[in-house]
Amino acid sequence: MKTIYLRSLIFLLLFLFLTTQAWTANVLNSDSDFSVKIAVTINGDDHIMGKLEYSNQSPQYPLQLVTFNPVGGLIQVEPYLFKIIERTIISKNVHRIKCTSINDKYGAGSLLVGTIDFQDELKPKVRLVNEGGYTYLGNLTEKGKEIHKKYIPNIWLGH
């Protein structure tokens, strides 16, 4: 009889220990602590691909972009930093942001507005539009994925 109680107690403690670990993981994956990498296309051009990192962790700039542009058989790589002016949490893991580019030599200082939706971690969505209403950043399209596989297959752009 004592062995049944002892086994039940051990099972209960093990169960509580495992559920506590799962709860902790969910807390870390909330709006208070996040980091998501998203494969994007820039200016609706499927040839210009990028890796967007959105995070509230240690980097000074929480929104960073690296672009990959195949030109004449060579890949041109350019990094971009964005300063977030305003961030509104619409719902859990859906953020509306207003940001400006810090080092974009083509449109430095232009204001970008849009949403980053990372509720589904495997299929995050991003859409940032510029002041003219044109999509500056969007999710990588199927054609963009084909170009990615052709020119830079060894580089992971994100989900």
User: What's the domain count of the chain?
Assistant: 2
Say yes or no: 26 and 40 in one domain: no
pLDDT of residue 106: 66
Say yes or no: 26 and 42 in one domain: no
pLDDT of residue 72: 83
Q: Identify whether 157 is part of a domain.
A: no
pLDDT of residue 131: 86
pLDDT of residue 23: 45
What is the spatial distance between Cα 17 and Cα 60, in angstroms, rounded to a whole number?
36
Query: What three-state secondary structure class fits 145?
Result: helix
Say yes or no: 18 and 57 in one domain: no
pLDDT of residue 50: 93
Q: Identify whether 8 is part of a domain.
A: yes
Say yes or no: 9 and 58 in one domain: no
Say yes or no: 44 and 111 in one domain: yes
Cβ–Cβ under 8 Å, residues 102 and 83: yes
Q: What are the pLDDT tens digits along the chain (159 aa)?
A: 677 777 776 776 666 666 654 444 444 445 667 888 999 998 888 889 999 999 887 666 788 999 998 888 788 999 989 889 999 999 888 999 999 988 877 665 689 999 999 988 889 999 999 888 888 899 999 998 998 998 888 888 988
Q: Identify whether 159 is part of a domain.
A: no
Percent of the chain beyond pLDDT 90?
30
Beta bridge partners of 150: none
Say yes or no: 77 and 26 in one domain: no
pLDDT tens, residue by residue, 50-63: 999 998 876 667 88
User: Domain range for residue 26?
Assistant: 1-30
Q: Identify whether 118 is part of a domain.
A: yes
Say yes or no: 55 and 119 in one domain: yes
Say yes or no: 25 and 56 in one domain: no
Q: Identify whether 49 is part of a domain.
A: yes
Q: Identify whether 158 is part of a domain.
A: no
Q: Which residue has the tokens 């107690």?
A: 9
Cβ–Cβ under 8 Å, residues 89 and 31: yes
Task: Using the CB atoms, write b or e for 128-158: b if 16+ within 10 Å.
Answer: bebeeeebbbbbbeeebeebbeebeeeeebb
